[in-house]
Amino acid sequence: MAPIESSVGGTIVFPLSQWDGRPVEGLALTIEAGLVTGVSATRGQAAAEAELAGVPAEARAFREFALGFNPLLAVPERSPWIPYYGYGAGVVRLSLGDNSEFGGEVGGGYVRWNFFTDTTVTVDGDVWVDDGRLVAP
């Protein structure tokens, strides 16, 4: 389900990632009222800015927070990769762009999935994911 887009605010800090086909380190996106308002990086900032500049304005909108629950889709320790769109237990997906497919107000066609495999998620004081491992509910 889509968030109330204007309610989203904060900073997403990325591990090493690829933007516009180039590596970016230390990337931080600032989100205000559901839109990316700031981009900073320790290396490769121009690549992240180039990708965002090359897509419709809607693509700069927060799309979703998704949390994987399926233990059968875990990231393998050997030759690690993120299976099936990050639905594996403990994987967090923080995405940008079009969320109309699940009831959101953002269109435009562009989707940027961002997967996080070592995140900690706390809900109302309860830890649900600890360093990428699903521990509750």
Share of the chain above pLDDT 70, in %: 99
Q: Long-range CB contacts (< 8 A, 24+ apart) of 34-40?
A: 34/3, 34/5, 34/6, 34/7, 34/8, 34/9, 34/61, 34/62, 35/60, 35/61, 35/62, 36/60, 36/61, 36/62, 36/96
Report yes or no: 92 and 39 within 8 Å, Cβ to Cβ.
no
pLDDT of 137 > 70? The answer is no
What the block records as the tokens of 124 is: 């109302």
Name the more confident of 45 and 85. Answer: 45
Which pair of tokens denotes residue 122? 């706390």
Assign residue 124 a region (left: φ > 0; alpha: ψ between -120 and 50; beta: otherwise): left
State mean pLDDT over 96-100. Answer: 93
Domain ranges of the chain: 5-134
- Whether residue 2 is predicted with pLDDT greater than 80 in this model: the reply is no
Contact between 86 and 68 (Cβ < 8 Å): yes
User: Does pLDDT of 122 surpass 80?
Assistant: yes
Q: Mean pLDDT, to the nearest integer, of 67-79?
A: 85
